[in-house]
């Protein structure tokens, strides 16, 4: 194995019988065997004769030496002190991170609780309703007690928005039902166009989305009652020569808790992932008020 060293070398060039002509101090980087470091750090001058009859006085002094072993020893921290400091620093950082996460979770929990209380005070979804499902069976609000419900108001002749929102609702349901341990979510579609959305029309429509999607319809009065209960606006537009028309209506997905209470709503701007995350938080924080 070889080592690298740094020497200061002074040379003087003489001719035979002449005094010193020049002195040149210089630094040399030396690549030498291991044994070289046994040389004395300060050597007396050495007289070397050149073929031209001139003598060179060489005086050198070791400034530093460093081999691979020394380099490794210089860069490696020594002793248990460094490891202890590193461990303490890591534990301190982990403690700060854990405290920050806990504070953030508590803040989110309080915010969610405040939002839920504010929505309950808005008296949305109060009272009962009576409708027919797409199989012709009578349905009321009490039938969904004990279930989480995602509900959307729309109509089967809607060209784009209603299918898009129902697809998003179904994505949320599928994501949540794929997670073990989470309670099932019942998807519900209530029409705001009772004139055209009969039981048969609803049955044909809901089968294209999800096998558990429940379509609800009824008379004009029954639909108006449930729509008022959930603050849903809707208005049928003018008919064309084919007697076709569109219905302008509110666009929102409603979340009902197992108590049958309105818990949250999601506008068109919310993604399926955002809605699923919100439903999970509501599930985790849910405490029944009926017991």
Domain locations in the chain as residue ranges: 85-121, 128-283
CA 222 to chain centre: 44
Cα distance between residue 170 and residue 40, in whole Å: 85
The confidence score (pLDDT) of residue 271 equals 97
The confidence score (pLDDT) of residue 79 equals 52
The confidence score (pLDDT) of residue 63 equals 46
What are the helix (H) ranges across the chain? 68-75, 79-121, 161-177, 199-206, 220-229, 272-285
Asked whether 228 and 141 are in contact (CB, 8 A), the reply is: no
CATH architecture, domain 128-283: 3-Layer(aba) Sandwich (3.40)
The confidence score (pLDDT) of residue 233 equals 95
Across 202-218, average pLDDT: 96
Higher-pLDDT residue of 187, 46: 187
Cα distance between residue 192 and residue 246, in whole Å: 11
> Is 7 assigned to a binding site?
no
Asked whether 131 and 216 are in contact (CB, 8 A), the reply is: yes
Asked whether 166 and 189 are in contact (CB, 8 A), the reply is: yes
The confidence score (pLDDT) of residue 115 equals 62
pLDDT tens, position by position, 49-106: 445 555 544 454 544 444 555 454 555 555 557 778 787 888 778 777 777 777 776 7
H/E run at residue 11: strand 2-15
pLDDT tens, position by position, 1-46: 444 444 444 444 444 444 444 444 544 444 444 444 444 444 445 4
Whole-Å CA distances, 160 to 155, 156, 167, 184, 202: 11, 10, 11, 27, 17
Higher-pLDDT residue of 81, 193: 193
The confidence score (pLDDT) of residue 122 equals 60
pLDDT tens, position by position, 91-149: 778 777 777 777 776 776 676 666 666 656 666 778 889 999 999 999 999 999 999 99
> Is 158 assigned to a binding site?
yes
pLDDT tens, position by position, 232-291: 999 999 999 888 999 999 999 999 999 999 999 999 999 999 999 999 999 999 988 776
pLDDT band for position 196 (50/70/90)? very high
Hey, how many other C-beta atoms are within 10 angstroms of the C-beta on 277?
Answer: 14
The confidence score (pLDDT) of residue 291 equals 63
């Amino acid at each position: 194995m070889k080592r690298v060293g740094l020497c200061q070398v002074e040379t003087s060039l003489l001719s035979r019988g002449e005094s010193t002509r020049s002195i040149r101090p210089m630094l040399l980087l030396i690549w030498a065997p291991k044994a070289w470091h046994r040389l004395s750090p300060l050597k007396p001058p050495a007289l070397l004769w050149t073929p031209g009859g001139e003598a060179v006085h060489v005086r050198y002094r070791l400034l530093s030496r460093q081999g691979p072993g020394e380099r490794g020893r210089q860069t490696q921290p020594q002793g248990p002190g460094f490891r202890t400091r590193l461990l303490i620093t890591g534990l301190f950082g982990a403690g700060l991170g854990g405290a920050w996460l806990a504070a953030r979770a508590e803040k989110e929990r309080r915010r969610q609780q405040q939002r839920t209380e504010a929505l309950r005070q808005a008296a949305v979804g109060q009272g009962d309703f009576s409708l027919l499902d797409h199989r012709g069976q009578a349905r009321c609000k009490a039938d969904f007690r004990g279930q989480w419900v995602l509900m959307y108001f729309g109509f089967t002749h809607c060209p784009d928005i209603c299918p898009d929102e129902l697809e998003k609702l179904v994505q949320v349901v599928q994501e949540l039902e794929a997670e073990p341990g989470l309670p099932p979510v019942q998807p519900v579609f209530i029409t705001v166009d009772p004139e055209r959305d009969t039981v048969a029309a609803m049955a044909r429509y809901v089968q294209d989305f999800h096998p558990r999607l429940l379509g609800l319809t009824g008379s004009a009065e029954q639909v108006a009652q449930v729509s008022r209960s959930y603050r849903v606006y809707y208005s049928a537009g003018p008919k064309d020569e084919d007697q076709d028309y569109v219905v302008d209506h509110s666009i929102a997905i409603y979340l009902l808790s197992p108590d049958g209470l309105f818990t949250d709503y999601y506008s068109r701007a919310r993604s399926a992932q955002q809605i699923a995350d919100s439903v999970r938080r509501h599930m985790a924080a849910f405490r029944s008020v009926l017991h």
